[in-house]
Amino acid sequence: MVLCQGGEGDVAPAAGGKEPEVPPGREDGAGAVEPRLCPAPGVEAAGAEERRACGCCSGMSWPCCCEAPGTKKKAACPGLGLFYTILSAFLFSVASLFLKKIEDVHSVEVSAFRCVFQMAFVLPGLIYYKTGFLGPKGKRIFLFFRGFLGSTAMVLLYYAYQVMPLADATVITFTSPVFTSLLAWIFLKEKYSLWDLLFTLFAITGVILIARPPFLFGSHVTGIEGSYTNHLKGTIAAITSTLSAASTIVILRKVGKSVHYFLSIWYYAVIGLIGCVIALFVLNEWRLPHCGRDRVFLILIGLLGLGGQVFLTKALQIEKAGPVSIMKTMDVVFAFILQVLFLNHLPTWWTVGGALCVVASSSGTAIRKWRHSVKKAKEREI
């Protein structure tokens, strides 16, 4: 046996001719090379039966894998990723409820507090993984726009939550997968089929049913919070927030795995905080909440938002993106329940119809992407 160097392309195929999968958590270190034992040239390795894939890590044959034969492997809990998704949706919904309960605090100031929590969470990760604070030179412009668009989406969404019904704003945000497919087709030349066009039309129909513009529904619009002017402003803010969020996803696809996700969140938090501070001075809206309850709500919004992101990230690590995207529609269910229970605002049938259109659109888009990825994975195995 000799000591040789090899990446994943040098690993011997597993039994059945299948290519070994990349081990979890190794994507960020794609360029890393680790030494392993290889048979010397012209020498057959003894015990061919032991060269099977153990399935515990990357499909490498024992003894190169992490567990020896006969060792019991801890079985993954079925449905854990979907449970994490539901928990994430619940935390995000409760954070939105607290945002509705806050009085006399501008959405930009709430966003600034959220960015501070993000920075406090990400900073130890940047130090631990030694990613630096600026990132690769060729990727910094993409990271900047990711941070700018992501923070803009957050501020506009918080504004929409404050001026329109909670369920309405939540439903509009679920058009993001549809707009992501459209932007990916325009900028990344990804495939855009007639089904994608149909889902886009469904999403637009749902937004129209929620916004209920007077030129289609008449001048007397019922079932909204406050004036129709604020409702319309909130709808525009929610749609713009959704487009900005979709743009950040397209940028992240463009960057790929060459940038650690902690660095991406760091840009999001830093640029968001700088932008929020500048906006607060321009708008002259910077002020601490007058009562202790609002201060507690601000802290809880930061903690719940951070917790929601952590559980969503964990869900995507152990579950396929398709089921996670579908299960994430529980955001809408929680928003309707919390709106009725704690805000005493019954949704109209227009809102329910719009929600069904948007949820059907986003779920259909997620299912198509999921099936396409499964099909490609099977083709690679053949």
Q: Could you give the 3-state DSSP secondary structure of residue 182?
A: helix
Residue range 52-74: average pLDDT? 44
Q: Which two tokens stand for residue 72?
A: 């019991």
Q: Which residues are registered as beta bridge partners of 36? A: 4
Query: How much is the pLDDT for 241?
Result: 92
Percent of the chain with pLDDT over 90: 8
Within 10 Å of residue 351's Cβ, how many Cβ atoms? 22
DSSP H stretches of helix in the chain: 80-101, 107-129, 140-163, 166-173, 176-187, 194-211, 214-217, 228-255, 261-283, 292-318, 321-327, 330-342, 349-381
Give the highest mean pLDDT range of 85-89, 210-214, 287-291: 85-89
Distance CA 211, CA 228 (A): 9
pLDDT at 14 over 80: no
> Which has more pLDDT, 92 or 78?
92
Question: Which element (helix H / strand E) includes 36?
Answer: strand 34-38
pLDDT at 60 over 60: no
Tens digits of residue pLDDT in 126-159: 888 887 888 778 788 888 988 899 889 989 999 9
Within 10 Å of residue 306's Cβ, how many Cβ atoms? 18
pLDDT at 250 over 90: no
Compute the mean pLDDT over every residue in the chain, rounded to the nearest whole number: 75
pLDDT tier for residue 271 given thresholds of 50, 70 and 90: very high
Query: How much is the pLDDT for 91?
Result: 93
Query: How much is the pLDDT for 35?
Result: 42
Q: Which two tokens stand for residue 168?
A: 């309405």
pLDDT tier for residue 76 given thresholds of 50, 70 and 90: low
Tens digits of residue pLDDT in 202-216: 888 988 888 887 766
